[in-house]
């Protein structure tokens, strides 16, 4: 069968690649065309547009890049119409993908949506639109099933695909030696995969590094950027930027400073105590505070519905507060241990690996019925 996938950011690229891998096991004639990234491209098929040209974050950022977004939308719709896939799979990225879903529905293409839009966070009435334009919704957070049921929508809970990615990880036994990190306490810096995130968060992260001279800070570089891009922020600091090594960094880290998003859950799955940070354009943040109806922004806290990790947002996100929290994580044994115990509760909620395989099997099952 012919599959068309749309992923608009780094996490979607990861989950899309794992899903493609499982689809190939079940469908030896699988053909892929997609908006995605390097990981999906490694699985074969045709990459139409890289997510690095698509990921805009925040109300203000979307507004000033609206022309580019509309151009990308038009290109995606035209390409789907020309390709005429048997199966359309939209991965997260709701601002873009819900518009693609509406287009597909108008053109009688079945819509599979993998990783539910976070409609439970704000404007919950969007569920009514999702019911109209999405044929099959595959959820990865346990509380989402009950949420959608309250709105009269049946969904498939498949578990979390990050468990698949972590389970498939093979640590590099020479990672520390290769990167000259022997006998150093490693602090992972995960400033995100978008330019906006990095520009707002990395300077504060690097300023925190000055407060811990006995630790080695390491930046997990986003695959859509080069080492040269990070130099504008480093300004000669002896902090390595390592690419394609996020899991090796976390596997050896004592603590982490993490941009809110998928990476917070990855750090928790590697049992790395963390402080979660988020900062953006003040206009976007003020709008978000008016419309968002959740108590937490990090997946770690949302899943357990408890403040497991500290979240420092906007004005609270500055070197002094980040450094104070990092100091607690590193030096207060009881504080650190409490966070790790709470990670165990998160593990129980998350369940077992297998989301990618389960989703692939359901997609093929529904396609066969169609």
Compute how many other C-beta atoms are within 10 angstroms of the C-beta atom of residue 171.
10
| Residue 190 near residue 262 (C-beta atoms within 8 A) | no
Segment 75-88, tens digit of pLDDT = 999 999 999 999 99
Nearest in space to 242 (alpha carbons), one of 221, 257, 266, 216: 221
Domains of the chain: 2-159+354-369 (3.40.50.2000), 175-350 (3.40.50.2000)
Two tokens at 229? 């891009």
State the chain's mean pLDDT as an integer: 91
* pLDDT tens-digit map of 231-263: 999 988 989 999 999 999 999 999 999 999 889
What CA–CA distance (Å, rounded) separates 304 from 322? 23
Look at the chain and count its residues.
370
- Contact status, residue 218 vs residue 239, Cβ threshold 8 Å: yes
**pLDDT confidence of 286, banded at 50, 70, 90?**
low
**Phi/psi at 92 (5° precision):** 55, -140
Q: What is the pLDDT of residues 19-70, one digit of tens each?
A: 999 999 999 999 999 999 999 999 999 999 999 877 655 555 555 666 778 8
Q: Which value, in Å, is the radius of gyration of the alpha carbons in the chain?
A: 20
Q: What is the pTM (predicted TM-score) of this model?
A: 0.82
- pLDDT confidence band for 195 (50 / 70 / 90): confident
Report the pLDDT averaged over residues 156-167.
Answer: 92
Task: Say if residues 20 and 40 touch (Cβ distance below 8 Å).
Answer: yes
Give 291's pLDDT tier (boundaries 50, 70, 90): low
Please name the residues in contact with 97: beta carbons below 8 A apart, sequence gap of 6 or more: 6, 8, 90, 91, 113, 117
Question: In terms of DSSP bridges, do strands 274-278 and 253-259 run parallel, antiparallel, or are they unpaired?
Answer: parallel
In the three-class reduction of DSSP (H, G, I as helix; E, B as strand; rest coil), residue 32 is classed as strand
């Amino acid at each position: 069968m012919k599959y068309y996938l749309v992923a608009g950011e780094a996490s979607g690229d990861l989950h899309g690649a794992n899903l493609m891998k499982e689809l190939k096991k079940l469908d030896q004639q699988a053909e892929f065309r997609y908006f995605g990234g390097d990981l999906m491209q490694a699985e074969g098929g045709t990459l139409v547009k890289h997510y690095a040209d698509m990921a805009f974050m925040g109300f203000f950022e979307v507004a000033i890049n609206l022309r580019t977004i509309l151009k990308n939308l038009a290109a995606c719709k035209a390409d789907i119409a020309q390709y005429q896939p048997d199966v359309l799979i939209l991965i997260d990225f709701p601002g873009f993908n819900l518009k693609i879903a509406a287009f597909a529905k108008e053109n009688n293409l079945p819509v599979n949506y993998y990783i539910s839009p976070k409609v439970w966070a704000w404007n919950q009435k969007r569920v009514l639109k999702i019911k109209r334009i999405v044929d099959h919704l595959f959820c990865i957070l346990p509380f989402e099933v009950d949420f959608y049921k309250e709105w009269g929508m049946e969904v498939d809970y498949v578990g979390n695909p990050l468990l698949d990615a972590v389970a498939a990880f093979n640590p590099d036994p020479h990672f520390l030696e290769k990167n000259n990190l022997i006998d150093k306490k490693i602090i992972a810096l995960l400033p995100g995969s978008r330019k906006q995130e990095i520009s707002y968060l990395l300077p504060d992260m690097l300023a925190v590094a000055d407060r811990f001279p006995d630790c080695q800070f390491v930046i997990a570089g986003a695959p859509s950027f080069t080492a040269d891009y990070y130099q504008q922020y480093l300004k000669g600091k002896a902090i390595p930027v390592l690419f394609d090594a996020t899991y090796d960094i976390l596997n050896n880290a004592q603590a982490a400073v993490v941009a809110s998003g998928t990476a917070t859950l990855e750090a928790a799955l590697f049992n790395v105590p963390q402080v979660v940070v988020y900062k953006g354009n003040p206009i976007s943040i003020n709008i978000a505070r008016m419309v968002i109806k959740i108590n937490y922004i990090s997946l770690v806290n949302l899943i357990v519905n408890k403040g497991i990790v500290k979240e420092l947002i906007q004005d609270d996100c500055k070197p002094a507060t980040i450094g104070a929290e990092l100091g607690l994580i590193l030096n207060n044994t009881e504080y650190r241990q409490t966070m790790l115990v709470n990670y165990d509760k998160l593990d129980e909620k998350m369940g077992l690996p297998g989301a990618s395989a389960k989703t692939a099997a359901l997609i093929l099952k529904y396609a066969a019925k169609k």
